[in-house]
Chain A
Amino acid sequence: MSEMNKVQHGRPAWLLLQDGTILAGENFGAAGTVTGEVVFSTAMTGYQEALTDPCYYGQIYLQTFPMMGNYGVNHEDFSGSHCFLRGCIVREWCDAPSNFRCEGDIDTFLREQNVVGLWGIDTRHLTRILREKGTMTGTITTDEAAIPALQQALSGWKLENAVAAVTESQPATIEGNGPHIGIMNLGAPSFAASELQRRGCKVSFHSVSDGAEAYAGCDGVVLSEGPGDPAEEAAVLDTIRALAAAGKPLFGIGLGHQLLALSQGASVCRLHHGHRGASQPVIDNRTKKTYPTSQNHGYEVVDLPAEAGEISHQNVNDGSCEGIRYSHIKALSVQFRPVGPGEAQDTGYLYDEFLAMVR
């Protein structure tokens, strides 16, 4: 590291919450004002991956682990092309990162990405507020004079068109010798794409506006992860139903899981304060095995009609639905992000199950 970007004191910033709370700290990353849903994640590593995860679109990301930036920033580890979230809150950021792949510090990176950062606040206090009162809208600002007006504006804020906002053009297809899987791009298709690639699949990407006919050449369809409120994406439900009716094997993940469930008569409701972190415990009801999973969502599937399918996975802590195996259509879905080569201890087996359905 040649020129270090030392932690500077005296750049005040504030967080305003919908419930009237104002917390004063210091600014890092970009200066300015941003508004978003304030959500917390308990993951202790992986800040780069989170900051660039499209599923955090429109949100202000609170990391409960007190340090960010210890190992700096490198482009190799990004989940998406850039930062999709609006703001970032942490207790302290590290101005002397240390890692052999480090390309720069977190402050500089967030400034480049125009993400407004807040540090130096009691992050545990804020987490407790969110845990008790639920996810709420907040504003980070470096403009003290604007605080009263910004607070007024908080109640009217709503996250909209999230999927469209994060959807980026993808390569037409990734070649492979295995089955051809189409990914319905709900905003964050890259996690699924790399897992399918690992398994030798040919992968093609399709936009939410594409109809069922666009998947004609596919052997199966993955409904990808993505940000936002599933209710906003009602338009896509017909496509999903059509694919299901045509006997296309389907695998819904995250937002895709929620939309698939909606298409089969279930409902979706907002979780009180979301599931975000690297170790949400999930049990596979068939094998009774548990897995620590990576999650990042604010909604859960409820009221699945009995005839539609069975709850295959549940969150061990709160019992919420984490996965479904459908009865009459060739489909499965999970709320969390399945990863891994499909060994005993990872959740990659779900891809293998899906591909078995395809074959």
Chain B
Amino acid sequence: MPLRQDIKKVMVIGSGPIVIGQAAEFDYAGTQACRALKEEGLEVVLVNSNPATIMTDKAMADKIYIEPLTLDVIKRIILLEKPDSLLSTLGGQTGLTLSMELAKEGFLAEHGVKLLGADPVTIDKAEDRQSFKDTMEAINQPCIPSKVVTTVEDAVAFAEEIHYPVIVRPAFTLGGTGGGIADDEAQLRDIARNGLRLSPITQVLIEKCISGWKEIEFEVIRDSKDNIITVCSMENMDPVGVHTGDSIVVAPAVTLSDKEYQMLRTAAINIVSELKVEGGCNCQFALHPESFEYAVIEVNPRVSRSSALASKATGYPIAKVASKIAIGYTLDEIINAVTGTTYACFEPAIDYLVVKFPKWPFDKFVYAKRTLGTQMKATGEVMAIGTSFEQGIMKAVRGIELGLDTLTLPDLAEIPTEEIEKMLYEVDDRRIFVLYEALKRGISVEKIHEITLVDEWFLWKMQNLLDLEKELAEGELTEEKYMRAKKWGYLDSTIERLSGQKPPITRFASYKMVDTCAAEFEARTPYFYSTYDDENEARLFIDRQQSDKKKIIVFGSGPIRIGQGIEFDYCSVHCVWALKRAGYEAIIANNNPETVSTDFDTGDRLYFDPLTKEDVRNLIETEKPYGVVVQFGGQTAIKLTKFLDELGVNILGTSADSIDEAEDRERFDELLERCNIPRAKGQTVFTTEEALTVANDLGYPVLLRPSYVLGGQNMIIAYNDADVQEYMAIITAHELENPVLIDKYLMGIEVEVDAISDGEDYLIPGIMQHVERAGVHSGDSISVYPAQTLPHHVRQTLIEYTGRFARELKVKGLINIQYVVYNHEVYVIEVNPRSSRTVPYISKVTGVPMVALATEIILGKKLKDLGYGTGLYPEADYVAVKVPVFSFSKLNNVDTHLGPEMKSTGEVLGIARTYQDALVKGLVASGNSLKRSGGLLISVRDADKEEVLEVADKFASLGFEIYATSGTALKLNRNMIPANTVKKISEDPENNVLTLLDSGKIDYVISTSTHGRQPALDSVQIRRKAVERSIICLTCMDTANAVADCLAMDRTIDDIELIDITTI
């Protein structure tokens, strides 16, 4: 069937902020969907609260609302825009749940809105545990013995029936939030209670634990004519028990015989046919490793992280095809865009192996519980394509940016073998490294398999790598040995290190195509991966194209992690588009399967490979580009600068030398002196003794950080000698290549400026002011554009300083500068001559296409000729407030106290005509319902006791019941603010702050402490309890004040105008 004639205007709901379990893959899916709909001439109305996305770009939809994703807001937009259809399956769980609620309430029917993609019956059949079970039983698909319960008692009773261990899965939660495996009744009670609370319908599934079975997934596509194909199979290296988002995954499945494969493929097809999904669907199976017994674990009737992976793994654009199906097309009518000649009903055939490796945040959250289970913890992932598992895993492990280039984790080297053997029983983020170490210690494949139930196939492959490494270490490094190592994915530098010898020859990689069809057809829009083979298809492809355009490579930002998120992908994609518009051939290099940048048609060519020096050198060798761009790919790309410069590659934009000048502490100090710009006093140190001396000279509090930083990694504010000692102990535990910086901590207003410069002129689209004082990482601060309270002379100074930096560093492109305003003086905190986290949102609010302008300048244009003027750009009529979003509920034991180290995973934006209105929108979008009554618990450090009075007073006058720990309560009561005293945890096990939080009386918590991080501390326990209970917890006086002011307003979110940003 061709395009349905009754569809003219489609609403698309995005997935909101990036959180663990729902990340960049939905920007990719949503962007593909919007483009697919627009291609058909349909009007698209987009709603998404996440400003860092490509999908919320003006070109992506006709109407764009960056508004809170709440039911009420969506309803108002529907009334305003009157779409005739709603596409439900491309905005992750968030979009699906909202769509379903709208449908179930009858709101959609009432307003004549058709639900596209999947109807409520389908969604219920797949997502409601009981109806899913019934549906599976009806078509003879085996499920795991399980029961839906709504009380803890029922959970315990059923567990006794099916025997422990059991898995708890809450209904309708993201990435399995609140779930877990219980080995006994005590654990079950704990997990079930939490799961029931987190489930929006207070429902959890208690299920027999089938840990150890193989976990196999199929991505399936179905159309309205019941045409069904499977796009891809995937096999988790970790058996059932570890969330697939936290498992190393290979595609296609490798250990299944054809019989097993066809059995599960048929099951997947039958399930999707029964559910009548129109679009993409993910089916997860558990397969008994020693028989044909299997069970359906889960079905997701929408595009998902797995479908993004399957798309990138095969070249088959699932989101695009799913969108076309939703509006009426069938698989035999949709052309496969990669080949340009075949159709979407062709099941992709691949002639390589894909390895997905998760990126976990434990390098930032040192005290977080690293155990992996049914709740996803990874923030991102990389995908590696290889001609063998060995090659794939080697690429993946170096692409994940942990500083590793083999499966050897140096930390494990010192651990005795008995300990290593014990570690095999625990699954955490180091799993694969522990497996490798165990093999190294001579523990047999059979034994490791027995303990871990990881299929021997994977273990033998690891043994192959180990054997090769042993061979490299012995005897002469022959050409034959070298080539074998290259084919298995070893870098020259690794081979040299392992063998102690220079490689006898140097071979550059050749490139092969991802073309959906294993070379059966010629491809029009393929992408490439490196390997060591005879024929370099990329070279042939380039030669055949005979393009006379100049080629430019844009380096992407790698896996999504805290501190380097989707915004850098936004920048990379915009750079690519600007290059294409300017008549260049834009080539993108990246290894993140979740992103828009790695979509097959974003760049003129895509290279799916790690972004290490050698990988990049190989690419340069094949492409021989005119130049490269590093300033949009975050630290991942920036750190290649020096190497590329030494290779003689033309780095377009700001020079390598300038980048170094901004990052190298001594050179930066010289720069400041030249520019006559002050910064907080500070010094560089290497040892704890030096650190203590310097800290005492400067006077506490002081800021400590390593000299090269990313997202405030390992940065703290120290208030005394003990803090300095603790910090230096952690830092010096790792090898100290770069020194530690100690600065005087200035507690002032933090201001951020992004500017575009051509080395002479500069343009500042806007000045942003943070709600939180300096000391809270800029990524975790609420950021306001335009700055609200800066005096004229301060603004002039900011503009003047920014200009000096731009000129002095000869910035060509983007520059991001963070300042602190302290006692009306402007001090610089840091200068980043590259794109930043705030670029997407400032571009959207001000209408200044920052990346496009920066790209034009990189290509030689002058700012004054680009039509946006110079200096400070006129302020917009709207105020935009960026509010950070955290994933604390997914990460046990992480302290939620905000500080210099970044903790947020994503952000939302509130846009309105006034600051207060925008703030309300931002807070609501971030998940704060702004409840106007209830209880407030205050427990703050001495330094905050004076300031907290004002906040407490505001809450008290709103009628909140205030509770506080003894010291704070005394202070409040003395100041005429009524407060109940609550006992500390140690004072009374039955009746204390924690039990108060459990009681349901508390709606807000204000908690600060001098010390943080250590999970055993009282203050950390309070904050963690708040997370578990979904209670809003504020850890900075400024945030608390801002929230109190919003609560005191006479308006609520319902009264605030909704804004289509395309009209700004």
Interface residues of A (CB under 8 A from B): 9, 23, 40, 42-49, 64-67, 70-71, 74, 77, 91-92, 94, 96-101, 121-125, 127-128, 131, 277-279, 281, 283, 288-290, 292, 316-317, 340, 343-346
Contact = CB atoms under 8 A, between A and B. Distances in A.
Contacts of B290: 100
Interface string B503-520: 000000000110001111
Contacts of B352: 66
B534 interface: yes
Contacts of A96: 456-457, 460-461, 463
B701 to A, nearest CB: 57
B258 A98 contact: no
A65 B258 contact: no
B715 to A, nearest CB: 45
A64 B457 CA distance: 20
Given A71-B256, A91-B387, A125 B533 contact: yes
B363 interface: no
Given A42-B518, A279-B346, A70 B537 contact: no
Contact of B225 (A277, A289, A316, A343): A289
A234 to B, nearest CB: 31
Nearest to B522: A131
B661 to A, nearest CB: 46
Nearest to B352: A66
29 contacts: A46-B261, A65-B350, A66-B351, A67-B353, A91-B387, A96-B460, A98-B456, A100-B290, A124-B513, A124-B519, A124-B533, A124-B535, A124-B537, A125-B534, A131-B519, A278-B347, A279-B347, A279-B349, A281-B229, A283-B345, A288-B330, A288-B332, A292-B230, A292-B345, A292-B346, A292-B347, A317-B341, A340-B266, A345-B273
B332 A64 contact: no
Contact of B349 (A42, A98, A289, A343): A42
B270 A343 contact: yes
B225 A288 contact: yes
Identify the interface centre among B256, B262, B330: most chain A CB within 10 Å of its CB. B262
Interface in B525-572: 533-535, 537
B331 interface: yes
Given A23-B534, A131-B522, 12 more contacts: A40-B520, A42-B351, A42-B517, A44-B252, A65-B252, A66-B387, A96-B456, A98-B460, A124-B535, A292-B230, A317-B346, A345-B228
Contacts of B350: 44, 65
Interface in B215-250: 225-230
A23 B463 CA distance: 29
B255 A98 contact: yes
Contacts of B387: 66, 91-92
B447 to A, nearest CB: 15
Contacts of A292: 229-230, 345-347
Given A46-B258, A100-B289, A123 B351 contact: yes
B345 A290 contact: yes
A347 to B, nearest CB: 12
A195 B519 CA distance: 32
Given A66-B388, A317-B341, A317-B342, A128 B519 contact: yes
A95 to B, nearest CB: 8
Chain A to chain B: the 3 pairs with minimum beta-carbon distance, closest first: A279-B347, A96-B460, A42-B349
Interface residues of B, number: 60
Nearest to A120: B487
A135 to B, nearest CB: 13
B40 to A, nearest CB: 20
Nearest to A340: B266
A49 B261 CA distance: 13
A23 B518 CA distance: 19
Interface string B325-361: 0000011100000000111011111111100000000
Contacts of B269: 345
A316 B227 contact: no
A281 B519 contact: no
A131 B270 CA distance: 34
B640 interface: no
A274 B576 CA distance: 39
Given A66-B351, A317-B341, A45 B534 contact: no
A6 to B, nearest CB: 9
A290 B518 contact: no
Given A100-B290, A289-B225, A48 B258 contact: yes
B479 to A, nearest CB: 13
B291 interface: yes
Identify the interface centre among B349, B352, B353, B461: most chain A CB within 10 Å of its CB. B349
Contacts of B289: 100
Interface string B194-233: 0000000000000000000000000000000111111000
B425 interface: no
A339 B452 CA distance: 38
B259 interface: yes
A43 B388 contact: no
B385 to A, nearest CB: 11
Contacts of A128: 519, 535, 537
B254 interface: yes
Identify the interface centre among A125, A290, A346: most chain B CB within 10 Å of its CB. A290
B268 to A, nearest CB: 10
Contact of A77 (B257, B273, B534): B257
Contact of B343 (A98, A99, A316): A316
Contacts of B252: 44-45, 65
Contacts of A289: 225-227
B332 A290 contact: yes
B347 A316 contact: no
Contacts of A283: 332, 345
B457 to A, nearest CB: 4
A23 B533 CA distance: 12
Nearest to A98: B457
A201 to B, nearest CB: 23
Contacts of B253: 45
B455 interface: yes
A64 B349 contact: yes
B873 interface: no
Contacts of A77: 257-259
A134 to B, nearest CB: 13
B521 interface: yes
A277 B351 CA distance: 12
B353 A66 contact: yes
A257 B519 CA distance: 27
B255 A127 contact: no
A70 B225 CA distance: 36
B258 A49 contact: yes
Contacts of B351: 42, 64-66, 123-124, 127
Contacts of A43: 349
B345 A316 contact: yes
A92 B388 contact: yes
A345 B227 CA distance: 8
